[in-house]
Structure 1
Amino acid sequence: MLEPPSPRSQGGIWAHNASEEFSWIRVAITTLQCRWITIDTEFPGVIYRPTAEAIRSGDAVEERYNVVKKNVDELKLIQLGFTLSDSHGNLPDFATEFRYVWEVNFKGFDASSDPHAPESIELLRNQGVDIEKHMAEGVNYKPFAELMYQAGLINEGMNWVTFHGCYDFAYLLKVISFEQRLPENVESFYSKLRLYFGKFYDVKHMAKFCEGLFGGLDKIAATLKVKRVVGKSHCAGSDSLLTWQVFTALCHYCYSTNSLLAEVSDVLHGLQSVTPVEQKVIPAMYNPYLEHRLIQMPVYSYGSSLSLIEYKEVTS
């Protein structure tokens, strides 16, 4: 029988522990019914940018997708974080005092020879990403993709959550489809996403229909009074957990019914040509009755690794 990893072990998934960690991920999906997965990626920035016209235009979806494609085709994924949850919002604990969040560290990117945006790599280094350790001990892309399939992560029964997720899904699609290049157009891209990932939600896209919510992940989290409780920004495991917390808050405040949530599914921010729903208003955002529902959300205190998050239930 597998023993849950020790909270004193070093954080994240590396080549030496990838098979064991993914065995636990399979348990979370098949036994604990964790069918919601929130992802975040870290990559070497962008080296191609959209034109000013594409930024201004609401109809230049194909041009914006081409920019994503050019970057992802040429660059390499550095890190993937993901948070698993069941339909009640519970993270897996495997009968321990910890909740588990995963961070995969990839081997493949070489800062001395691979194309990248220098400021992005500097930012990742400042946030604690050890690029050299990735090269020595990271997980290769092909074995990772195989582990994803074996664990049951790639199937139509999963629900995926991202924040501004076009690059997250683009990199993940590139890796799990064993392709070097993304589909040629945005329609084919979306078809591939539906084939591999089932349903997906982009929190950035969802937030734009809610009054008073704008900006990046940390800005929206602060507006909703959702605190980052583990790690740092621009670390994939930490960002995936914060994205899941913000998604949960949005479901409380703005998308309280399945029909409302369905209207914003399967669309990625920046790669949509039409607005699927009218603007919504978060009802009484600071009403104490609603606020206590956020206070009752689990709080996770940072343990000694990003894979292991100590769990404390907070009662009102």
Structure 2
Amino acid sequence: MAEKPIVVRKIWAHNASEEFSWIRVAITTLQCRWITIDTEFPGVIYRPTAEAIRSNDAVEERYNVVKKNVDELKLIQLGFTLSDSHGHLPDFATEFRYVWEVNFKGFDASSDPHAPESIELLRSQGVNIEKHMAEGVNYRPFAELMYQAGLINQGMNWVTFHGCYDFAYLLKVMSSGQRLPENVENFYSKLRQYFGRFYDVKHMAKFCEGLFGGLDKIAATLQVERVVGKSHCAGSDSLLTWQVFTALCHYCYSTDYLLAEVSDVLYGLQSVTPLEQKFIPAMYNPYLEHRLIQMPLYNYGSSLSLLESKEVTS
């Protein structure tokens, strides 16, 4: 039986309350405790030095660059994909499965700082900056809706790809626009306070031989296809990130022990991790690539259900 097609549900100011009521149903009734996020924002206006990019000892410097960018720039779009521990996306007994894309009001390309090439890229992918200004969701009501829907809950498990900016922007919005913590230790502390357990797919891919590059490249290596939307659209990218995450769980992190080893770390904001200190053979062999078959979407075994945090309450 063919899987139901996936639809990206677009959230604007006029339908935000209704959409988040459905999201609450997905979390509390359908037990969707896994949320994969992607953000779109106005690029970066500060960059780390070449030495900071290479050095394992420059975590604070890299975090400081993230902080300076996020403190000054504004979030444009947030995509998220919800799933239960069996990999099922919510369908609400309809003919479709759903992911979401929140379109924010706040960024003004005529006056707010941004990287022009990043805004041009977003426009080329269909992001309507002017519509965002007229019809987008304000940050404060969005934060309230996140709480009401049950998304900010220690029982949730969050997934992202190269997620330092994703979580930094989300933390900024959820904390009423406050500036980010002054150091990376306090940043991680805030993330754990708000979001519970989290996984960064790019960090996970480091330990799998033959997997490197951006989201699309890693997806292609794993023969994971984008099934809806375009790249650099937050809803579509969140879904592809979830697909890649589940593929990694299937091929590289098939036990709860291995998956736990890479939790709560964001790519680029880590020193040497316990997993890197051990001599572990690569968990993915490119010479076996011919054995990879197109697996059903979200087929990954039992490790996710074993690792779930405490129960989500309504």
TM range (shorter): 0.7 to 0.9
Contact preservation (8 Å) 1:230, 1:302: no
Q: Residues 107 and 309 (structure 1 numbering): CA distance in 2 closer, same or farther, change over 3 Å? A: farther
Deviation for aligned residue 1:274: 1.2
Percent identical: 91
Contact preservation (8 Å) 1:9, 1:304: no
- Deviation track 1:193-215 (CA, whole Å, cap 9, x = no partner) reads 00000000000000010000000
Deviation for aligned residue 1:53: 1.5
Contact preservation (8 Å) 2:11, 2:102: yes
Higher mean C-alpha displacement, 48-57 vs 274-283: 274-283
Aligned Cα root-mean-square deviation (Å): 6.9
Deviation for aligned residue 1:179: 3.2
- How many residue pairs get aligned? The number is 311
Q: Distance in 1 between matches of 2:145 and 2:57?
A: 38
Contact preservation (8 Å) 1:79, 1:104: yes
- Deviation track 1:44-99 (CA, whole Å, cap 9, x = no partner) reads 00000001221121110000000000000000000000000000110001011110
Q: Residues 280 and 8 (structure 1 numbering): CA distance in 2 closer, same or farther, change over 3 Å? A: closer
Q: Distance in 1 between matches of 2:280 and 2:46?
A: 36
- Could you tell me which residue of structure 1 aligns to residue 175 of structure 2? 177
SS of corresponding position for 2:178: coil
Q: Residues 191 and 309 (structure 1 numbering): CA distance in 2 closer, same or farther, change over 3 Å? A: closer
Contact preservation (8 Å) 2:162, 2:201: yes
Q: Distance in 1 between matches of 2:111 and 2:91?
A: 41
- Structure 2: segments with no counterpart, 5+ residues: none
Give me the TM-score of the superposition, normalised by structure 2.
0.88
- Please, which of 25, 28, 36 is the counterpart of residue 26 of structure 2? 28
Higher mean C-alpha displacement, 8-17 vs 156-165: 8-17
Q: Distance in 2 between matches of 1:46 and 1:176?
A: 21
Q: Residues 147 and 224 (structure 1 numbering): CA distance in 2 closer, same or farther, change over 3 Å? A: same
Deviation for aligned residue 1:7: 11
Q: Residues 251 and 283 (structure 1 numbering): CA distance in 2 closer, same or farther, change over 3 Å? A: farther
Deviation for aligned residue 1:315: 34
Q: Residues 258 and 237 (structure 1 numbering): CA distance in 2 closer, same or farther, change over 3 Å? A: same
Deviation for aligned residue 1:148: 0.1
Contact preservation (8 Å) 1:207, 1:250: yes
Q: Distance in 1 between matches of 2:59 and 2:309?
A: 42
Q: Distance in 1 between matches of 2:311 and 2:293?
A: 10
Q: Residues 138 and 311 (structure 1 numbering): CA distance in 2 closer, same or farther, change over 3 Å? A: farther
Q: Distance in 2 between matches of 1:36 and 1:251?
A: 14
- Deviation track 1:102-131 (CA, whole Å, cap 9, x = no partner) reads 000000000000000000000000000000
Q: Distance in 2 between matches of 1:195 and 1:311?
A: 14
Q: Distance in 1 between matches of 2:5 and 2:269?
A: 40
- Could you tell me which residue of structure 2 aligns to residue 57 of structure 1? 55
Higher mean C-alpha displacement, 274-283 vs 220-229: 274-283
Contact preservation (8 Å) 2:6, 2:96: no
- Structure 1: segments with no counterpart, 5+ residues: 1-5
SS of corresponding position for 2:10: coil
Q: Residues 227 and 308 (structure 1 numbering): CA distance in 2 closer, same or farther, change over 3 Å? A: farther
SS of corresponding position for 1:278: helix
Contact preservation (8 Å) 1:211, 1:281: no
Q: Residues 205 and 36 (structure 1 numbering): CA distance in 2 closer, same or farther, change over 3 Å? A: same
